[in-house]
Structure 1
Amino acid sequence: MNLLREIVLDTETTGLSPAGGDRVVEIGCVELINHVPTGRHHHVYINPERDMPEEAFRVHGLSEEFLRDKPKFAELAQGFLDFIGDDPLIIHNAPFDMGFLNAELEWSGRKHLVNPVIDTVTLARKIHPGARVSLDALCKTYGIDNSRRSLHGALLDSEILAEVYLELIGGRQVALALSAEAESQFRSGMVRPPARQRPTPLPARLTDRERELHAAFVGEMGDKAMWLEYLTIEVELRA
């Protein structure tokens, strides 16, 4: 069985246009295998080598001071490329993020990305025509908790987008995922199969003489002894 690996991706930037000198300041990626989050992620803050406009700061809260000692994109590019490989990218409003990433790659002397891209904005518009398809609106549609999203953040938004994407493609199918996980654990030896029942029960360990002595002992306690009730039930079941 071939495994489908997808990367849910988001960026934060200094503005809206790489052509106007805006830069990427944060990248967050979340790995999915067969539509299930694996827990692996890639997350970096980036020194944009320029100031941070107030409008952008109000969106993501990343200040010029905070980013000043962070690595530059050229220093982080290879790690990012190694993580995403050539697998499909899941991005909300993909032209925006892809435009910035390809500009940064070009400025660092690298080729543009050629990964397949799934734009969840386009996907959501097909599934919910006429409805609002912002990430917050889709969280409300699918009952996804986004209360931590007081500011935009690339990794957090990628984690939320992964949940939205799974709903857009038909839900989590938790039972199937758990079944596959259980099968995997069984094959790896983490879960043992239930013990088989014996074809015939083991013989009783008590002899008839021991039963007689036990009955006599209980009888000395009187006719209302609780043990007599259990002894009577056992005899009836064995008859």
Structure 2
Amino acid sequence: MNTRQIILDTETTGLYPNSGDRLVEFAGLEMINRKFTENSLHLYVHPERDMPAEAAAVHGITIEQLEEKNAPVFAKVGQEIADYLRGAELIIHNAKFDVGFLDMEFRRMGLPPIDELGCTITDTLAMAREMFPGQKVSLDALCNRFDVDRSKRVYHGALIDCELLGEVYLAMTRGQFDLMADSGSEEAEQVHAVAEIKRPARLKVIQADETELSAHEAYLDALDKAVGGACLWRGEAGA
């Protein structure tokens, strides 16, 4: 897997990109082969309008702070953001929101929207709803589920949220990569060779001892914690 992935988040003045709200913070963390690189992009942006108190209460960003930072307007950094995103798989929690704002800002500059930059979108909110139907799937809830430390998160900042989402995404998709994806690898060839060994018609059954049973119970307890209830394996064992 050599896909360039970017964990992405934004902060804005409000919820409605087509009704005057603007982007005020952008963060992207690059990941290649499930490893974070040093190629990150974090920018504060002056929205060229006021900052509603309810928005500042969420992300902690005020117009005064942006002016102290000499934050540029989006027109000054839009091309840099577009170039950074081009051709990548974007990992976003509630992608419709962030993509809506980026497309609006790009459109104001005459730049192409996200889908014309050759990007693909992976929405971790949709993933979580499919994995955990009927359960809370906010970023906070997923951090709790996967034991991701969010103690440093005072506000919903784009950069800290990207860092948390990166850990959550890796936890959510870890099972997909535990198996060897590269059938040409040395390890995969060894597994294939073992699979072709002829087994005897009858195999000796060895029962688990107390230590092994205890370890198994501990593993099931961990699964229970991860899913917030009785895991599937425990349910089947008791059936």
* Common fold by TM > 0.5: yes
Corresponding residue for 1:135?
139
Q: What are the within-5 Å matches in structure 2 for residues 206-217 of structure 1?
A: none
How many residues are aligned here? 174
Which whole-Å deviations, capped at 9, do the CAs of 1:41-83 have from their partners, x for residues lacking one?
1000000000000000000111011123311111101111222
Corresponding residue for 1:85?
86
Which whole-Å deviations, capped at 9, do the CAs of 1:132-165 have from their partners, x for residues lacking one?
0000000000000001111011111011101001
Corresponding residue for 1:148?
152
The answer (yes or no) to whether the contact 2:153–2:160 under 8 Å persists in 1 is: yes
Q: TM-score, normalised by structure 2?
A: 0.70
Corresponding residue for 1:19?
18
The answer (yes or no) to whether the contact 2:3–2:89 under 8 Å persists in 1 is: no
The answer on 1:64 being equivalent to 2:68 is: no
The answer on 1:45 being equivalent to 2:49 is: no
Which whole-Å deviations, capped at 9, do the CAs of 1:5-38 have from their partners, x for residues lacking one?
1001000000000111000000000011112212
Please give the secondary structure, in 2, of the residue aligned with 1:107.
helix
Q: Do the aligned partners of residues 77 and 49 (structure 1) sit closer, same or farther apart at CA in structure 2, a change above 3 Å counting?
A: same
Residue type of the partner of 1:125?
Answer: R
The answer on 1:105 being equivalent to 2:106 is: yes
The answer (yes or no) to whether the contact 2:143–2:168 under 8 Å persists in 1 is: yes
Q: TM-score, normalised by structure 1?
A: 0.70
Q: Do the aligned partners of residues 77 and 104 (structure 1) sit closer, same or farther apart at CA in structure 2, a change above 3 Å counting?
A: same
Q: State the alpha-carbon separation in 2 of the partners of residues 61 and 129 from structure 1.
A: 32
The gaps in structure 2 that reach 5 residues or longer are 181-239
Q: State the alpha-carbon separation in 1 of the partners of residues 175 and 11 from structure 2.
A: 27
Q: Which has the larger radius of gyration?
A: 1
Q: State the alpha-carbon separation in 2 of the partners of residues 171 and 142 from structure 1.
A: 13
Q: State the alpha-carbon separation in 2 of the partners of residues 172 and 54 from structure 1.
A: 42
Q: Which runs of 4+ in 1 moved over 3 A?
A: 171-174
Q: State the alpha-carbon separation in 2 of the partners of residues 123 and 29 from structure 1.
A: 20
Q: State the alpha-carbon separation in 1 of the partners of residues 147 and 105 from structure 2.
A: 35
The answer (yes or no) to whether the contact 1:166–1:172 under 8 Å persists in 2 is: no
Which whole-Å deviations, capped at 9, do the CAs of 1:176-198 have from their partners, x for residues lacking one?
9xxxxxxxxxxxxxxxxxxxxxx
Corresponding residue for 2:30?
31
Please give the secondary structure, in 2, of the residue aligned with 1:169.
helix
The gaps in structure 1 that reach 5 residues or longer are 177-239
Please give the secondary structure, in 1, of the residue aligned with 2:87.
coil
Q: State the alpha-carbon separation in 2 of the partners of residues 77 and 172 from structure 1.
A: 34
Identity of aligned residues (%): 47
Please give the secondary structure, in 1, of the residue aligned with 2:11.
strand
Q: CA deviation at 1:84?
A: 1.7
Q: State the alpha-carbon separation in 2 of the partners of residues 172 and 165 from structure 1.
A: 12
Please give the secondary structure, in 1, of the residue aligned with 2:7.
strand
The answer on 1:124 being equivalent to 2:128 is: yes
Please give the secondary structure, in 1, of the residue aligned with 2:18.
helix
Q: State the alpha-carbon separation in 1 of the partners of residues 176 and 169 from structure 2.
A: 10
Q: State the alpha-carbon separation in 1 of the partners of residues 177 and 153 from structure 2.
A: 26
